[in-house]
Amino acid sequence: MIEVKNITKSFGDLTVLKNFTVNFKEEGVTVILGPSGTGKSTLLRCINGLENIDSGDILVDGLSVNDKKNLRHIRLNCGMVFQQTVLFPHLDVMHNMTVSPIKLLKLSKKEAEERAEFYLNKVGLISKKKSRHNELSGGEQQRIAIARALMMNPKALLLDEVTSALDPEMSSEVLNILEKLAADGVCMLAVTHEMSFAKKVASRILFLDKGSLVCDEPVERFFRETRNENERISRFLNFIGE
């Protein structure tokens, strides 16, 4: 569903992704691992068209991100949630969830609200539907952001370290939700440092280092064998205490 074809992305002199190629099917959870500053966020942002790529191509559902006309379709199909949660501060939770489906998917207000209630139940926050972002904890905000992304019925969720800014308790709230969604069959591409989540939920692990793909393997093999075979990976895993 997502084909990243030999892309290069630089910021000024800094080449962040070099001739990077990878494919994602519309299934399961892929966890992207790697040290900070290796281009994991940049990869997700390129897929979602938030960054322009210098060369190569990314196809989502066969549509290229290089063509601006496709961006809307691509973004509707790849919901994205950021490390730093961004709720719209001038809207309450319900309106945060419904404004986009009403405007972009042409749902009626009633349909949008019903869908919002469904997803708010899913993330366990139906009681907060009238709250503003500053009345919510970080974990709650992040769960709302996930629910808001799901409102658009994306084929995949791009998750960029969605728990890194949270304390352990809140981050396990969020991870539980993601686990539930994965069990429902939601396809995810998740950058995370949460190894227990990766082991439990992921089917596939990508390891990035310095802008290139070091390995791309099924989760069992990654944690059983690759981690011992590859020195960079074992150093990384030891470093984050795994």
Partner 1 sequence: MQAFEKYRSLRLLDSLQFLRGIGVTLEVTLLSIAIGTFIGIILGIIRCSKNKAVSSLPLIYIEPLRNSPLVTQLFLVYYGIPMITNWMPSAFTCAVLTLSLNTGAFFAVLVNNSIKAIPQGQWEAGYALGHGKTSVFIHFIVPQAFRLLIPQAVTLYIGQLQCSSYVALISLIDLTKTGETISLRTMMPFVCWGIVFALYFIISFPLSKLAQYLEKKNEFAY
Binding flags for ligand ADP, 41-80, as an x/- string (CB under 6 A): xx--------------------------------------
**Interface with partner 1 (CB under 8 A), residue from 6, 67, 104, 224:** 104
Residue 143: partners with Cβ closer than 8 Å, 6 or more residues away = 123, 124, 125, 173, 174, 177
Q: Which stretch binds partner 1 (CB under 8 A): 13-21, 99-107, 210-218, 231-239?
A: 99-107
Strands 55-60 vs 29-33: parallel, antiparallel or unpaired: unpaired
Total Cβ atoms within 10 A of residue 54: 14
**Interface with ligand ADP (CB under 6 A), residue from 30, 38, 48, 142:** 38
CA 237 – CA 195 distance, rounded (Å):
9
Q: Which stretch binds ligand ADP (CB under 6 A): 35-43, 143-151, 182-190, 213-221?
A: 35-43
- Site for Mg ion, residues 132 to 171, rule: CB under 5 A: none
Decide which of Mg ion, ligand ADP, partner 1, none touches 29; Cβ closer than 5 to 8 Å per partner kind: none
Q: Which stretch binds Mg ion (CB under 5 A): 38-46, 90-98, 140-148, 176-184?
A: 38-46
CB 95 within 8 A of CB 103: no
CB 178 within 8 A of CB 161: no
